[in-house]
Chain A
Amino acid sequence: MLLPPLSFWLPFIYFAVILAITWAAGRLAGLLLGRGVGQTMPQVSAAAGRVGTVVVWLVGGTFAIQELGVSPYVLLLVILLIGLAAVVALREPLQNIGARYFSDIYTPFKLGDTVKVAGYSGKVIEINPITTVLLSDDDALLSIPNSTFIREVVTNTSPQAWREVNVPFSVGANTDLARLESDLRKSLGKLRSHLDPRFPPVIVTRSRSAQSTELTLTVLIRRPEERDAVTAEVGKRVAELVQQTQSPRR
């Protein structure tokens, strides 16, 4: 039996090569974007990496499918339609998930705080992807959609809430946490003139999985007007040390 000529196989070979390059480029983009953004905001690191990877795959996939003789416009149209349908169908949950995502970054409250929003008030006892659950003074559970916290004015009435800076971050499961703890404390010690000296840094383990450990660093600032600057600087230091601790050279 005769095999088809090389010219028959060429589009498939190009398709495979472009996919391989896309895969590598996607990994690289994810890594670089994750690290670049993570320098200032470790919370955004993983998300930025994912966005970078998706963009590279969209571009690479478009080129690859073109090699098979399919119009890239068809692919883009399909993606657009699916995306549109998803947005329309899941508008409410997506708003809430998005709001949850942003509140993770620019959080004005955390579990245990007492907040007021849209005429409701209570102690925050749960923050899930869709809603934030408050326990009211009369023992009622209030489930507030996360998007409300973006649209409405939120008042955190917890004592000294303005002082608290929480930096959630993630490390690989095999990270030497003792070394990270020690290095972080030494690094934050250099910012102590901007931090409340009565409250040394607290690093709490939030959750663990086979791949990663989720932690939160909490420090208290001295002056409200420095909150933004201190948050950025603390985040930067966390990101740098996480990177160093996980670097194979050390």
Chain B
Amino acid sequence: MSAEQQLDICVNTQTPLLLFPPVTGSEGVPSRPPESARLEQLEEGVDYTFSPGGVTRMVYPLIRRLHEDQLIGQAHWVSLNPFGPREVRTPAFTLHNVAIAPERLAAYGNVKETIWGTVHGLRRDAPESADLFWSDDFSEYAYYNRLTAEKIRALDATYDFDVFYIHDFQQLAIGDMLGTLKPKLYRWHIPFAAKEIPPAWRSAMTAYLNSYDAVVVSTDRYQAQLEEFGYTGRIVKLYPFVDETEYTMPPADEVAATCARFGVRPEDRLVVVVGRMDPMKGQDRPIRALAKLAGAHPDVRLLLVGNGSFSGSKAGLGLSKAAQWRAELERLAVELGIGDRVLFSGHVSQRDLDACYERAEFTLLSSIQEGFGLVVVESWIHGKPAIVSKRAGVAELVKHRKNALLYDPEDVEALADQMALLLADPRGLGQRLAEGGAVAMRKCTIEAAARAESLLLEEVVNG
């Protein structure tokens, strides 16, 4: 691939880049969205919002960057989006939304939650059979995959893509369904631990994965696990990444005003946990750890930033578990006698998020399992030290006590100890970790990613 030979690419993610609120007509009946729109005609915050999570943080900047660098020509991006126009054109790419009926959506949601929970090792009743793949609900998962594959195929008939880039487990079956000899790349975003995948699922999942020419994973550990699992194609490890230029450093008065809205007082020493409200994010651990430190550190407060994901939001799939988990966390904090020291911001804008990072003394990634954990990289961008769960993919970048502190998310005592260490020595240890983080984060920049991804695309296209 040379600069003159730009690649035409079709990207597929379940989560759409833009969320559109459900529009109802005068009698409360859902209105039919327009067929097509231009992004510049729409107003952020009014007509749409950016989806929370990796799609906006990673996929969007990557496509933009590859387009700016003239490495890709035509780019089309297909997602599941129950609301909004069927097509949104931007200068760099065109978004295409597919929608499925609510009853199919619910069944699809059940399957994806089952796969997600199982792969993350969160289900106590891990499936012993392959019943899932024969269930009526799985038929709807296949329905969504086939619908998306057909949309991609129809676009391919018009645009003759060079490569297809399919993202995440929700779209696993699409490789087979595309029925094309053109190269198909698949990015597995969630953790990959062969032992967590039930033996009865192995044949089906291997077959689905083997329909792709290459699979991208986020860490060396996932790469080794995928090899052991039986995937026969090419496996590439690429660290997730962010675009540093998307982050701002708001001035001190704005930071104070923003945090005051969330209940943070000027005298508080603030610990920030960024992540959607989900049991997998393990926010109960830092609450329990704070309770242990409460007596020794009466000025420490915990701010939990985030709400639901695309799946949980009303503008998304409406499969909310966020409200339930938040209520559980609030109850836990009250039970432990620290109800007034645990703060919840809900969903925040990027600007507010930047303010929270700026205000934090340190951040904490508490996930029980985590595909990667870009919030640690964000913390490093803001020059803040981080305490990181050993079970997050990003732990692979962490050198304990050099650029972050590691802990086992099942060991609340250990977490409290790490928090105490940082609270005791913010200028010494805290500063060293922040400096180490600034070095480690260079592996997760958009520049590094654009280089690696364009090389990968070139290799996949050229065979």
Enumerate chain A interface residues (CB-CB to B < 8 A).
177-179, 181-183, 185-186, 189, 192, 197-200, 202-208
Q: Is the CB of A177 within 8 A of B204?
A: no
Residues of A contacting B188 with CB < 8 Å?
A: none
- Residue of A178, A192, A202, A205 near B147 (CB, 8 A) is A178
What is the minimal beta-carbon distance from A42 to any residue of chain B, in angstroms? 18
Determine the distance from Cα of A177 to Cα of B130 in the docked complex, in whole angstroms.
24
Q: Is the CB of B143 within 8 A of A178?
A: yes
Tell me the residues in window 188-240 of chain B with beta carbons closer than 8 Å to chain A beta carbons: 200, 202-204, 207
Q: Which residue of chain B is the closest to A213 with respect to CB atoms?
A: B179
Q: Is the CB of A178 within 8 A of B135?
A: no
Determine the distance from Cα of A185 to Cα of B131 in the docked complex, in whole angstroms.
13
What is the minimal beta-carbon distance from A241 to any residue of chain B, in angstroms? 12
Residues of A contacting B144 with CB < 8 Å?
A: 178
B140 interfacial by beta-carbon distance below 8 Å: yes
Known: A181-B143, A206-B179. 11 other contacts (CB 8 A): A182-B146, A185-B138, A189-B134, A189-B135, A189-B139, A197-B131, A199-B204, A200-B134, A202-B176, A204-B179, A205-B178
Leading 9 A-B pairs by shortest Cβ distance:
A205-B179, A200-B133, A182-B143, A178-B147, A185-B139, A198-B203, A181-B146, A178-B146, A182-B139
- Residue of A177, A183, A189, A204 near B176 (CB, 8 A) is A204
Determine the distance from Cα of A173 to Cα of B349 in the docked complex, in whole angstroms.
46
What is the minimal beta-carbon distance from A21 to any residue of chain B, in angstroms? 40
Residues of B contacting A179 with CB < 8 Å?
A: 143
B255 interfacial by beta-carbon distance below 8 Å: no
Q: Is the CB of B143 within 8 A of A198?
A: no
Question: A177 with B136: in contact, given A198-B200, A198-B203, A200-B204 (CB under 8 Å)?
Answer: no
Question: A189 with B136: in contact, given A182-B143, A197-B130 (CB under 8 Å)?
Answer: yes
What is the minimal beta-carbon distance from A209 to any residue of chain B, in angstroms? 12
What is the minimal beta-carbon distance from B229 to any residue of chain A, in angstroms? 14
B456 interfacial by beta-carbon distance below 8 Å: no
Residues of B contacting A199 with CB < 8 Å?
A: 203-204, 207
What is the minimal beta-carbon distance from B143 to any residue of chain A, in angstroms? 4
Question: A192 with B176: in contact, given A178-B147, A198-B203, A199-B203 (CB under 8 Å)?
Answer: no
- Residue of B130, B135, B177 near A205 (CB, 8 A) is B177
Q: Which residue of chain B is the closest to A192 with respect to CB atoms?
A: B134
B95 interfacial by beta-carbon distance below 8 Å: no
Determine the distance from Cα of A155 to Cα of B159 in the docked complex, in whole angstroms.
44
Q: Which residue of chain B is the closest to A196 with respect to CB atoms?
A: B203
Residues of A contacting B356 with CB < 8 Å?
A: none
B2 interfacial by beta-carbon distance below 8 Å: no
Determine the distance from Cα of A182 to Cα of B131 in the docked complex, in whole angstroms.
16
Residues of A contacting B203 with CB < 8 Å?
A: 198-199
Enumerate chain B interface residues (CB-CB to A < 8 A).
104, 129-131, 133-136, 138-140, 142-144, 146-147, 150, 153, 176-179, 200, 202-204, 207
Q: Is the CB of A202 within 8 A of B136?
A: no
Determine the distance from Cα of A200 to Cα of B130 in the docked complex, in whole angstroms.
8
What is the minimal beta-carbon distance from A4 to any residue of chain B, in angstroms? 55
Determine the distance from Cα of A196 to Cα of B188 in the docked complex, in whole angstroms.
27
Question: A200 with B138: in contact, given A179-B143, A181-B146 (CB under 8 Å)?
Answer: yes
Determine the distance from Cα of A185 to Cα of B140 in the docked complex, in whole angstroms.
9
Q: Is the CB of A182 within 8 A of B176?
A: no
Q: Which residue of chain B is the closest to A186 with respect to CB atoms?
A: B139
10 pairs, CB–CB < 8 Å, chain A vs chain B = A178-B146, A182-B139, A182-B142, A185-B139, A197-B134, A199-B203, A200-B138, A204-B176, A207-B179, A208-B179
Q: Is the CB of B143 within 8 A of A202?
A: no
Residues of A contacting B136 with CB < 8 Å?
A: 186, 189
Residues of A contacting B139 with CB < 8 Å?
A: 181-183, 185-186, 189
What is the minimal beta-carbon distance from B207 to any residue of chain A, in angstroms? 7
Determine the distance from Cα of A192 to Cα of B176 in the docked complex, in whole angstroms.
21
Determine the distance from Cα of A189 to Cα of B130 in the docked complex, in whole angstroms.
12
Determine the distance from Cα of A205 to Cα of B177 in the docked complex, in whole angstroms.
7
Residues of A contacting B135 with CB < 8 Å?
A: 189
Determine the distance from Cα of A145 to Cα of B129 in the docked complex, in whole angstroms.
44
Determine the distance from Cα of A227 to Cα of B142 in the docked complex, in whole angstroms.
26
Determine the distance from Cα of A198 to Cα of B144 in the docked complex, in whole angstroms.
21
Q: Is the CB of B130 within 8 A of A198?
A: yes
Q: Which residue of chain B is the closest to A215 with respect to CB atoms?
A: B179
Determine the distance from Cα of A208 to Cα of B153 in the docked complex, in whole angstroms.
11
Q: Which residue of chain B is the closest to A216 with respect to CB atoms?
A: B179
Determine the distance from Cα of A197 to Cα of B138 in the docked complex, in whole angstroms.
14
Determine the distance from Cα of A198 to Cα of B198 in the docked complex, in whole angstroms.
11
What is the minimal beta-carbon distance from B412 to any residue of chain A, in angstroms? 40
Determine the distance from Cα of A225 to Cα of B130 in the docked complex, in whole angstroms.
23
Determine the distance from Cα of A246 to Cα of B143 in the docked complex, in whole angstroms.
17
Determine the distance from Cα of A185 to Cα of B138 in the docked complex, in whole angstroms.
8
What is the minimal beta-carbon distance from A91 to any residue of chain B, in angstroms? 36
Determine the distance from Cα of A200 to Cα of B145 in the docked complex, in whole angstroms.
15
